[in-house]
Copies of this chain bind each other. A is one copy, B any other.
Amino acid sequence: MRNVKLNVSYEGTAYSGFQTQPHRNTIQDKLEEAITALTGRTVKVTGSGRTDAGVHARAQIVNFETDSKIPIERWCLAMNARLPNDIVVYAAEEVPFDFHARRSAKRKTYRYAIRYGRLPDLFTRRTTLHHPTPLNKEAMRQALAVLEGEHDFTSFCSIHSSVESHVRTIFETRLETLVDDGMEDGQAGVIHLYITGNGFLYNMVRIIVGTLIEIGEGKRSPAEMQHILDAQDRMAAGPTAEPHGLMLWDVVY
């Protein structure tokens, strides 16, 4: 047996999320079907974490055990020949048996992309949230920084979460602005929010972003972020931002 690690990108638009489901339209299902087609054996793939329906991954990491003799350098192209064109395997390597894509992960980074302007940008619409009015980036940046460190993130966790502890550590946050080369010169902009942590609760990044948008709109002040965190109450935070702006950006082991 071997333990194989794959680096996978996907556009989540057409899928019901990462984790397998009965109707089998998930990223995990597509990966398992491709591996089975390659090796002739059923297999269970472990991901670094779930992504919700419509969420994308630049770098999802998965691992699985196989007794296949296929040389490791052939896995990448062999998998891509069997996967739909919105899922790509970028790298494959053989790893020790104690490597576990979820449990071994030390840091994960998510990116959330927002374009503000009167109209959506056609060419990034699948991976970027369109927000119709300007956003105060400096207020959003201040509020985002409040979340750095170890905190109880209950306020930013879906009430449907079943995990025991809501304590997580955010190592780093970053708000970048991009030049927009769409048609609304000077009236539109693109914001990329990066959040790196040791783990994330259910809907955590999307609720953080939903709250930051209210702060960017001026509906709440950046100073409120501390109160929302302290409240340890989902009702204190803003809405859950739409899934399609979110991308699993990087996983470090």
User: A: which residues have CB within 8 A of B?
Assistant: 7, 9-11, 56, 58-59, 76, 80, 85-88, 90-91, 119-120, 122-123, 125-127, 181-184
Contacts and interface: CB of A to CB of B under 8 A. Distances in A.
B119 A88 contact: yes
Nearest to A85: B125
A119 B90 CA distance: 7
26 contacts: A7-B183, A9-B182, A10-B122, A11-B122, A11-B123, A56-B123, A58-B123, A58-B181, A58-B182, A58-B183, A59-B183, A76-B119, A80-B119, A85-B120, A85-B125, A86-B122, A87-B122, A88-B119, A88-B120, A88-B122, A90-B119, A90-B183, A90-B184, A91-B183, A123-B126, A123-B127
A21 B87 CA distance: 34
A32 to B, nearest CB: 19
A183 B120 CA distance: 27
Contacts of A76: 119
Given A88-B122, A123-B126, 11 more contacts: A9-B122, A11-B122, A11-B123, A58-B182, A58-B183, A85-B120, A87-B122, A88-B120, A90-B119, A90-B184, A91-B183
A89 to B, nearest CB: 8
A127 to B, nearest CB: 6
A87 to B, nearest CB: 8
A70 to B, nearest CB: 18
Contacts of A88: 119-120, 122
